[in-house]
């Protein structure tokens, strides 16, 4: 047996071409997801946990139900009913439906019920802007204050801008800038281009409409 050619007694392993199983020897690269489809997929608004309203309602129900159950158990045990329950039962039996206190109580109960229904049907968390979802298992949000800070920093980079104030609403970004040199129209055009690109770079689900207002600095003294 002849020794393999090469440097002093060393052997070299030849490359091996492995075939993929059940593919007939052909390997297909995975297809990348469609960028347009991923960008178009929205994440929807974030829903609030409503811990404070739920805690208040649960506490009130617990107190009222506990008081009634305690009084009923006391009556079943042979004790007299509490004065507040006797008074409440008498008032409900004697007062007419058009009494002012009955109408006030009904209005308060209806307002509280409507408030709870609105809380149950609305998502809340208005300060969080939903972002685009490039992957179905990833969801992110951006606070409005953070978005406003980014836009303000980008606005300050424009030549001629002395000060800028940005307020990000749900669907619009209001920018008020003060320019101490250059023409206002030129500064506004640069701000529109810069902030439009910045809004696109935020990655929010629905890009905000941009509103820019320019002014000159006020005179001192």
> pTM for the whole thing?
0.59
Per-state percent for the chain, helix, strand, coil, to nearest 5: 45, 15, 40
Percent of the chain with pLDDT over 70: 79
Tens of pLDDT, residues 93-117: 888 888 898 899 899 999 988 988 8
Residue range 168-179: mean pLDDT, rounded: 92
User: Please, are residues 199 and 207 in contact by the beta-carbon 8 Å criterion?
Assistant: yes
- At 214, the pLDDT band (50, 70, 90 cuts) reads very high
The dihedral built from the CA positions of residue 189, 195, 201 and 206, taken in this order, carries a sign that is negative
Q: Which residue has the higher pLDDT, 127 or 202?
A: 202
Instruction: Say what the pLDDT of residue 177 is.
Output: 94
Q: Is the pLDDT of residue 25 over 70?
A: no
Q: What is the mean pLDDT of the chain?
A: 79
The per-residue pLDDT for 47 is 77
pLDDT at 4 over 80: no
């Amino acid at each position: 047996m002849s020794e393999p050619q090469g440097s002093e007694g060393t052997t070299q392993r030849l490359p091996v071409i492995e075939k993929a199983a059940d593919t007939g020897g052909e390997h297909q690269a995975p297809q990348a997801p469609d960028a347009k489809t991923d960008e178009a997929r929205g994440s929807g608004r974030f829903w609030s946990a409503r811990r404070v309203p739920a805690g208040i309602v649960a506490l009130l129900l617990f107190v009222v139900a506990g008081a009634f159950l305690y009084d009923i158990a006391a009556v079943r045990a042979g004790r007299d009913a509490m004065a507040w329950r006797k008074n409440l039962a008498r008032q409900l039996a004697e007062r007419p439906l058009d009494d002012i206190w009955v109408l006030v109580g009904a209005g308060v109960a209806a307002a509280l019920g409507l408030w709870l229904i609105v809380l149950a049907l609305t998502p809340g968390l208005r300060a969080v802007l939903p972002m685009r979802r490039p992957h179905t298992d990833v969801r992110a949000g951006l606070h409005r204050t953070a978005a406003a800070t980014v836009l303000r920093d980008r606005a300050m980079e424009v030549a001629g801008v002395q000060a800028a104030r940005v307020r990000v609403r749900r669907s619009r970004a209001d920018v008020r800038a003060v320019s101490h040199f250059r023409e206002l129209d030129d500064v506004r055009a640069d701000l529109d281009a810069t902030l439009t690109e910045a809004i696109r770079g935020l990655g929010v689900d629905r890009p905000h409409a941009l509103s820019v207002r320019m002014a000159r600095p006020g005179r001192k003294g």
